[in-house]
Chain A
Amino acid sequence: MPVQYAGILAEHRAVREHAGLFDVSHMGQIHLRGAGALASLERLVTCPVASLRHGQVRYGLLCHESGGTVDDVTVYRSADDAFFLCVNASNIEKDYRHVVRHARSDAEVRNRSDETGLLALQGPASAEVLAALAEPDPRGLRRFHFAEGRIAGRPALISRTGYTGSDGFELYCAAADTPALWDALLEAGAGAGLVPAGLGARDTLRLEAALPLYGHELDDDTSPLEAGLARFVDLARGGFLGAEALRVQQRDGTPRRLVGFELEGRGVARAGHALAHDGREIGRVTSGAPSPTLGKSIGLGYVPPAFAAIGTRLAVTIRGQAIAARVVSTPFVGKA
């Protein structure tokens, strides 16, 4: 996927106002089947699994025993004994090894990333655009649910999920069918303002929605609790890798917390910039960009809990200059 087609701002606005189409086929899919699939996933992911209905999706995390994050994933259940994980492209090999290592022997694990294509159709016009080509009617799908059907005559899994903070769908298909689906969707959506969109807009959209990006907000040494993802960690159930370490973190607190901030001065915060308070460095920016929707610079970063309250004054050190910033609630855009 290129960084941009027509320009990041134009693509970003198209997704917020109409629709954008992303080719995210680089993402990975790891399938688990068989009598031991459910028990294996309960050992692997932090979210509830047994309560997933057929055709339902949940966001969750794969953790190390240490509580650090192997990856953040979505879990799809298509039958009692059939699931798949959609995983980050950069982690496919690591995740596959992790899953194989911890899956039970009565679960069959397959990495189907290479044979699977994935298009993300995102934005408020997505359902109408897709309805012209897809069966079953995607307008009947609820958020975080999916159905197997056809798009433009080709088999596809239609999932009402996404990574932009806007309504939309993720469309799984055979890798070989991806170009045909791409063309059919762009043609069907041209009148509704659908445009091709690239990695640049994907990043600014997910940042406005404060959705974590692995390698930035999450990594092997960062726990989901530090990242503010406690609602996706089912400590009441427990039994998954990392649960003991995360229980201790929940009880004792973590030394740092992820916060969202807005820049009050001019400039753009970028990953790696220092976050300071009263002239003292207290953390680092993990992601930052100008928000096309808000017209100001926003970012995410880790700070000690004492500086995590909404309204706390911070400074971002940009090329040696302290630029004023303020902790704000997240998501930055689309607040309830």
Chain B
Amino acid sequence: MADYDIPRNLRYSREDEWARSDGERVTVGVTDYAQQQLGDVVFVELPAVGKTVERGEPFGVIESVKAVADLYAPVSGEVVEVNADLAEQPEAVNQDCYGDGWMVVIAVGDASEVESLLDADAYAAYVGERSE
């Protein structure tokens, strides 16, 4: 089985997004498992700043050479920042999914929403189930 990087300080959704909470600002990207499954990312479509996103609803699109996948919001709130660099360098999602490959920052109304996401152990178990 392949190895997947699952940092302990992040929270995870079952749609393979990660969320890093900084008070009411939550940074969101896709996990190492997701980027490995997709392969070479060639295009990322992100919402405009100011857009409201709903937990569990699609907020963007990620395309690799072979596949298209929706990006699902792990928390509800307003998009306050988007990673514009991904337009020119979508490969950052493959190279550094938890760093330069971040996608959006969402201002959440309810900071406890992040706490209800999976922790690293629970997400690792969820990835393991699908890798068997």
Residues of A within 8 A of B (CB): 3-4, 7-9, 200, 203-204, 266-268, 270, 289-290, 292, 319
Report 21 cross-chain contacts, Cβ distance below 8 Å, ordered by A residue: A4-B39, A4-B66, A7-B39, A7-B40, A8-B39, A8-B66, A9-B65, A200-B39, A200-B66, A204-B65, A266-B87, A267-B45, A267-B63, A268-B42, A268-B43, A268-B68, A289-B66, A290-B43, A290-B65, A319-B45, A319-B61
A289 partner, pick from B39, B61, B65, B87, beta carbons under 8 A: B65
Residues in B neighbouring A4, C-beta threshold 8 A: 39, 66
A9–B95 Cα distance when bound, in Å, is: 14
Residue of A whose beta carbon sits closest to that of B94: A7
Residues in B neighbouring A289, C-beta threshold 8 A: 65-66
List 8 tightest A-B contacts by C-beta distance, closest first.
Answer: A8-B65, A9-B40, A290-B42, A268-B63, A200-B66, A7-B40, A268-B43, A8-B40
Contact with A along B56-68 (1 / 0, CB 8 A): 0000010111101
CB distance from B90 to the nearest CB of A (A): 10
Chain B residues within 8 Å of chain A by Cβ, number:
12
8 Å CB interface, B84-105 against A:
87
8 Å CB interface, B68-92 against A:
68, 87
A267–B90 Cα distance when bound, in Å, is: 12
Residues in A neighbouring B64, C-beta threshold 8 A: 8
CB distance from B93 to the nearest CB of A (A): 13
Residue of B whose beta carbon sits closest to that of A292: B65
CB distance from B67 to the nearest CB of A (A): 9
Inter-chain residue pair count (beta carbon < 8 A): 36
CB distance from A207 to the nearest CB of B (A): 11
A3 partner, pick from B43, B61, B66, B68, beta carbons under 8 A: B66
Residues in A neighbouring B66, C-beta threshold 8 A: 3-4, 8, 200, 203, 289
Residues in B neighbouring A268, C-beta threshold 8 A: 42-43, 63, 68
A8–B43 Cα distance when bound, in Å, is: 15
Residue of B whose beta carbon sits closest to that of A319: B61
Residues in B neighbouring A3, C-beta threshold 8 A: 39, 66
Residue of A whose beta carbon sits closest to that of B66: A200
B43 near A267: Cβ-Cβ < 8 Å: yes
A9–B42 Cα distance when bound, in Å, is: 10
Residues in B neighbouring A266, C-beta threshold 8 A: 43, 87
8 Å CB interface, B24-52 against A:
39-40, 42-43, 45
Residues in A neighbouring B61, C-beta threshold 8 A: 319
Residue of B whose beta carbon sits closest to that of A270: B68
Residue of A whose beta carbon sits closest to that of B43: A268
Residue of A whose beta carbon sits closest to that of B44: A266
Residues in B neighbouring A319, C-beta threshold 8 A: 45, 61
A204–B42 Cα distance when bound, in Å, is: 13
Residues in B neighbouring A204, C-beta threshold 8 A: 65
Residue of B39, B40, B64, B66 with most chain A CB atoms under a 10 A cut-off: B66
Residues in A neighbouring B42, C-beta threshold 8 A: 268, 290
A306–B19 Cα distance when bound, in Å, is: 51
A268–B68 Cα distance when bound, in Å, is: 9
Residues in A neighbouring B40, C-beta threshold 8 A: 7-9
Contact with A along B3-27 (1 / 0, CB 8 A): 0000000000000000000000000
CB distance from B59 to the nearest CB of A (A): 13
A15–B3 Cα distance when bound, in Å, is: 27
A292–B45 Cα distance when bound, in Å, is: 19
A203–B65 Cα distance when bound, in Å, is: 10
A4–B40 Cα distance when bound, in Å, is: 10
Residues in B neighbouring A267, C-beta threshold 8 A: 43, 45, 63
CB distance from B91 to the nearest CB of A (A): 9
